[in-house]
Structure 1
Amino acid sequence: MKKRVEMVVESVNEIALDTVEMTLSNAYVAKNAQSGQFLHLQVEGHSLRRPISIADIDRENGLITMLFKKIGNGTKRLAMYRPGMIIDALGPSGNGFSYDPSMKTALLIGGGIGIPPLYNLGKELRNKGINVIAVLGFQSKEHVFYEAKFNELGETYVVTNDGSYGHKGFVTNVLSQVAKFDYYFSCGPIPMLQAVTKELHDHQGFISLEERMGCGVGACFACVIPTDSEGEYRKICKDGPVFAAKEVIL
């Protein structure tokens, strides 16, 4: 369910190196958003909208929390917004995570800014009595965020590329230490997702793809990805961003 809405900025905080947490209010979006969906934001001074994943949903208070990295002019401008300002948004957009409510344990694997959409999913799973294990990958200690929040959900492994915090290496380096699980859910850069799906090829899982988008509504074909059926493609903005791990070819 998606429509054009106005969202009010409630708070903006830099919570790690170049990583911004922004809370927005809109009762419609908070009521209808699902874990894994995103908002397509119109940033002042930029023609193309920015897709930002939803990290947390507070339905009772009508709030949505997003995290993003300041990596370009658009996100740097977005980080300059202040409480009370209005952001034009399309959303909630895309298809979110689906799962078997009868599963016992879920493994969440996130890399960098791919971690935020897994947080609300983890909260949702815990509220249904499902055990949560999280593996979170970052570049370095300065980039780490939400460790305490994921620790509240279940056993959490933090991995940094340079070994400055937690385990050294990549998320796949600690998967052998993880207890038995039923399904995995992963979001992060394509190289990470390729490594994860290869490592866990015998398990059932779902992946969420990060991708630059044009229209964000499935009309421009700028964010397509091939499927396991020859000659068929899926639109990340409309059919995704979440897919069954074995449905698409990375």
Structure 2
Amino acid sequence: MKKEKVLINSFRQIALDTIEMVVENAYISQTAKPGQFLHVSVEGHMLRRPISIADINKEKNTITILFKVVGSGTAKLATLTPGMSLDVLGPNGNGFQIDDQQKSTILLIGGGIGVPPLYYLGKTLAEKNIEIISILGFQTKDYVFYEEKFSNLGRNYVVTDDGSYGEKGFVTDVVKMAGDFDSYYSCGPLPMLKAITTKLKGKPGMISLEERMGCGVGACMACVIPTKKSGGYKKICSDGPVFHAEEVSL
């Protein structure tokens, strides 16, 4: 993890309140792993914003990040334009463990803004000839994004809370439609992760936690989560944001 300047190459709205930004930086693009994030400085705000890495293009030295406009910080980020630069710390945290994955079937389960980090993960796994099945959950059809990108990786299901697009319900309602798989990776809001880990208890899996952060480097203890076995705590920003599904108490 280093403090870096990234140049904004492109910027577009891809769904309701959802922005895709492509930035350029040689160091981050060559070292980032699926599941890591950038800690982005926002002018006029003391705390940085953690934003997951959605994709990497090593040939072009670019990093794709997605964020949802939910407050004054992300609203400020949404006013930036190509050619401007951002001050970031990155790549931060521990990502998904994939080195030991052999030819198998992997289920990706994402909810809302938890979908982006799963795309770079899925693309990396697909390059290893691993079969990918994806379940993407959104509030309504207006929030749906990256459906085509995930469909290009393998079988893909979209589910919305109100049934306005794809299947109606929650991601847990669609898991049975995925059929057999060897392990799963999931990222999304805490209630979704609780439901997923309960439903898939005993199945090998990893989860990525969305959390507000202070320092983002493990110094301030603002983003801790209790562990199941040791009785202690893990720091989401530095020990995570990715953990084994049975490692932490949600």
TM-score of the two chains, using structure 1 as the length reference = 0.98
Letter of the 2:7 partner, please give it. V
Once the two structures are superposed, residues 189-219 of structure 1 have per-residue CA deviations (whole angstroms, 9 ceiling, x without a partner) of: 0000000000000210000000000000100
SS in 1 for 2:152: helix
Q: Give the % identical residues.
A: 61
Is the 2:103–2:128 Cα contact (8 Å) retained in structure 1?
Answer: no
Is the 2:8–2:21 Cα contact (8 Å) retained in structure 1?
Answer: yes
Match of 1:56 in 2: 55
SS in 1 for 2:39: strand
Match of 2:222 in 1: 222
Match of 1:77 in 2: 76
SS in 2 for 1:60: coil
Distance 1:8 1:44 in 2: 15
SS in 1 for 2:201: coil
Structure 2 residue 131 is the aligned partner of structure 1 residue 134: no
Moved over 4 A (4+): none
User: Superposed, which structure 2 residues align to 1:12-27 within 5 Å?
Assistant: 12-27=11-26
Is the 1:37–1:94 Cα contact (8 Å) retained in structure 2?
Answer: yes
SS in 2 for 1:88: strand
Match of 1:43 in 2: 42
Structure 2 residue 90 is the aligned partner of structure 1 residue 87: no
Letter of the 2:227 partner, please give it. T
Is the 1:96–1:242 Cα contact (8 Å) retained in structure 2?
Answer: yes
User: Superposed, which structure 2 residues align to 1:127-166 within 5 Å?
Assistant: 127-166=127-166
Once the two structures are superposed, residues 76-135 of structure 1 have per-residue CA deviations (whole angstroms, 9 ceiling, x without a partner) of: 100111011110000000000003321411000000000000000000011000000000
Is the 2:103–2:129 Cα contact (8 Å) retained in structure 1?
Answer: no
Distance 1:187 1:231 in 2: 24
Structure 2 residue 236 is the aligned partner of structure 1 residue 236: yes
Is the 2:141–2:160 Cα contact (8 Å) retained in structure 1?
Answer: yes
Is the 2:54–2:118 Cα contact (8 Å) retained in structure 1?
Answer: yes
Distance 1:60 1:138 in 2: 32
Is the 1:224–1:235 Cα contact (8 Å) retained in structure 2?
Answer: yes
Specify every segment of 5 or more residues in structure 1 that has no aligned partner in the other structure, as ranges: none
Specify every segment of 5 or more residues in structure 2 that has no aligned partner in the other structure, as ranges: none
SS in 2 for 1:192: helix
TM-score of the two chains, using structure 2 as the length reference = 0.98
Distance 1:227 1:113 in 2: 25
Distance 2:21 2:137 in 1: 21
Deviation for aligned residue 1:146: 0.1
Once the two structures are superposed, residues 50-87 of structure 1 have per-residue CA deviations (whole angstroms, 9 ceiling, x without a partner) of: 00000001111100000000000000100111011110
Is the 1:185–1:206 Cα contact (8 Å) retained in structure 2?
Answer: yes
SS in 1 for 2:14: strand
Pair 1:228–1:103, CA change in 2 (3 A): farther
Distance 1:106 1:117 in 2: 15
Distance 1:177 1:38 in 2: 31
Structure 2 residue 197 is the aligned partner of structure 1 residue 179: no
Distance 1:121 1:28 in 2: 19
SS in 1 for 2:156: strand
